Amino acid sequence: MESVKSQSYEVHINELAKAALNQHVAQNKYSKIFLLVDENTKLHCKPLFLDMFESAIDAVLEIPSGEEHKHIHTCLQLWEQLSRLDGDRKSLLINLGGGVLTDMGGFVASTFKRGIDFINIPTTLLSMVDASIGGKTGVDLGSLKNQIGVINQPQMVLVFPEFLKTLDERQTKSGYAEMLKHGLIQDKAYWNDLTENQNFTDPACIQKSIAIKNEVVLQDPTEQGLRKILNFGHTLGHAIESYCLDNPNKRTLLHGEAIAVGMILEGYLSHELRGLSRLALDDIKKGFLAHFDRVDFNEEDIDAILQLLKYDKKNSHGNVNFVLLQAIGTAVTDIKVPEELFPKAFAYYEE
Ligand SMILES: NC(=O)c1ccc[n+]([C@@H]2O[C@H](COP(=O)([O-])OP(=O)(O)OC[C@H]3O[C@@H](n4cnc5c(N)ncnc54)[C@H](O)[C@@H]3O)[C@@H](O)[C@H]2O)c1
| CB crowding 241-272: b at 16 or more within 10 Å, else e | bbbbbeeeebeebbbbbbbbbbbbbbbbbbbb
Based on the fold, state whether residues 28 and 157 are members of the same structural domain. Answer: yes
Query: At which of 166, 198, 225 does a domain end?
Result: 166
User: Running DSSP on this structure, what letter comes out for residue 319?
Assistant: B
Q: Which of 124, 229, 254 to mutate to test the pocket of ligand 1 (most atoms within 8 A of CB)?
A: 124
Determine the Cα–Cα distance for residues 348 and 293; give it in Å rounded to an integer: 15
pLDDT at 198: 75
pLDDT at 249: 84
pLDDT tens by residue, 1-47: 899 999 899 999 999 999 999 999 999 999 999 999 999 999 999 99
Compute how many other C-beta atoms are within 10 angstroms of the C-beta atom of residue 179: 28
pLDDT at 312: 58
Examine the pLDDT at 274 and tell me if it is beyond 80. yes
Decide whether any atom of ligand 1 lies within 6 Å of the 154 Cβ.
Answer: no
Q: Which helix (H) or strand (E) holds 305?
A: helix 299-309
Decide whether any atom of ligand 1 lies within 6 Å of the 330 Cβ.
Answer: no
Decide whether any atom of ligand 1 lies within 6 Å of the 265 Cβ.
Answer: no
Q: Going by C-beta distance under 8 Å and a sequence separation of 6 or more, which residues neighbour residue 300?
A: none
Residue whose CA lies nearest to ligand 1 atom number 3: 131
Examine the pLDDT at 140 and tell me if it is beyond 80. yes
Q: Going by C-beta distance under 8 Å and a sequence separation of 6 or more, which residues neighbour residue 257?
A: 170, 173, 174, 177, 292, 295
Based on the fold, state whether residues 259 and 230 are members of the same structural domain. Answer: yes
Examine the pLDDT at 143 and tell me if it is beyond 80. no
pLDDT at 347: 98
Based on the fold, state whether residues 140 and 206 are members of the same structural domain. Answer: no
Determine the Cα–Cα distance for residues 310 and 192; give it in Å rounded to an integer: 34
Examine the pLDDT at 316 and tell me if it is beyond 80. no
Based on the fold, state whether residues 143 and 156 are members of the same structural domain. Answer: yes
Query: For the whole model, what pTM was predicted?
Result: 0.94
Distance 122 CA to ligand 1 centre (A): 8
User: Average pLDDT in the 290-301 region?
Assistant: 95
Decide whether any atom of ligand 1 lies within 6 Å of the 253 Cβ.
Answer: no
Categorise residue 99: left if φ over 0, alpha if ψ from -120 to 50, beta otherwise: alpha
pLDDT at 320: 82
Based on the fold, state whether residues 92 and 208 are members of the same structural domain. Answer: no
Distance 101 CA to ligand 1 centre (A): 7
Decide whether any atom of ligand 1 lies within 6 Å of the 145 Cβ.
Answer: yes
Decide whether any atom of ligand 1 lies within 6 Å of the 127 Cβ.
Answer: yes
pLDDT at 127: 98
Distance 262 CA to ligand 1 centre (A): 19
Q: Which of 49, 145, 171, 179 to mutate to test the pocket of ligand 1 (most atoms within 8 A of CB)?
A: 171
- What percent of the chain shows pLDDT beyond 70? 97
Instruction: Write the CATH number for 335.
Output: 1.20.1090.10
Residue whose CA lies nearest to ligand 1 atom number 9: 99
Closest among 116, 114, 115, 149 to 134, alpha carbons compared: 149
pLDDT at 309: 85
Question: Which value, in Å, is the radius of gyration of the alpha carbons in the chain?
Answer: 20
pLDDT at 246: 81
Confidence category of residue 134, pLDDT binned at 50, 70, 90: very high
Based on the fold, state whether residues 134 and 218 are members of the same structural domain. Answer: no
Distance 161 CA to ligand 1 centre (A): 14
Residue whose CA lies nearest to ligand 1 atom number 8: 131
pLDDT tens by residue, 60-117: 999 999 988 999 999 999 999 999 999 999 999 999 999 999 999 999 999 999 999 9
Residue whose CA lies nearest to ligand 1 atom number 39: 65
Query: At which of 128, 151, 166 does a domain end?
Result: 166
pLDDT at 282: 98
326, 332 Cβ separation under 8 angstroms: yes
Based on the fold, state whether residues 183 and 315 are members of the same structural domain. Answer: yes
Based on the fold, state whether residues 175 and 143 are members of the same structural domain. Answer: no
Q: How many domains does the chain fold into?
A: 2
Residue whose CA lies nearest to ligand 1 atom number 21: 98
Based on the fold, state whether residues 152 and 186 are members of the same structural domain. Answer: no
Instruction: Write the CATH number for 43.
Output: 3.40.50.1970
pLDDT tens by residue, 47-63: 999 999 999 999 999 99
Decide whether any atom of ligand 1 lies within 6 Å of the 44 Cβ.
Answer: yes
Decide whether any atom of ligand 1 lies within 6 Å of the 103 Cβ.
Answer: yes
Examine the pLDDT at 314 and tell me if it is beyond 60. no
pLDDT tens by residue, 155-199: 999 999 999 999 999 999 999 999 999 999 999 999 999 999 779
Closest among 73, 78, 94 to 139, alpha carbons compared: 73
Query: At which of 110, 137, 166 does a domain end?
Result: 166
105, 80 Cβ separation under 8 angstroms: no
User: Average pLDDT in the 265-293 region?
Assistant: 97
pLDDT at 39: 98
Q: Which residues span the domain enclosing 44?
A: 4-166
Based on the fold, state whether residues 179 and 42 are members of the same structural domain. Answer: no
Q: What is the mean pLDDT of the chain?
A: 95
